Amino acid sequence: MRGVVQGVGYRASCRRQAIELGLSGWVRNRPDGSVEVEAEGEPQRLTELQLWCEKGPEAAQVRSVASATIPPTGEDWFEVRR
């Protein structure tokens, strides 16, 4: 995600949303000011998370979201990485 996405509670909110959707994976801030999310789970739930990511928490101003398909890792938790 690009835009105003760091310092607005994006990672914690994303983690809560992903857990509510039953997804696993992680979210982290990147040095360039963007936020990166890697998630796996049911396709419909992943779409729901992507739609949430396009808005983010209330204070976020998401400018763009890029997505890619990657192989699943089989993890069973969702964490905030630093």
| Residue 9, CB-side half-sphere exposure with 13 Å CA sphere | 6
Taking the C-alpha atoms of residue 10 and residue 28, their distance in angstroms, rounded to an integer, is 9
- Its pTM stands at 0.93
Provide the domain limits for residue 30. 2-81
> What does the mean pLDDT of the chain come to?
96
CA dist list (Å): 11 to 2, 33, 52, 71: 13, 13, 12, 22
The values of phi and psi at residue 4, to 5°, are: -90, 90
Residues involved in catalysis: 11, 29
Domain count for the chain, please give it: 1
Q: Is residue 77 predicted with pLDDT exceeding 90?
A: yes
Going by pLDDT thresholds of 50, 70 and 90, the confidence category of residue 82 is: confident
Domain at 7, CATH number: 3.30.70.100
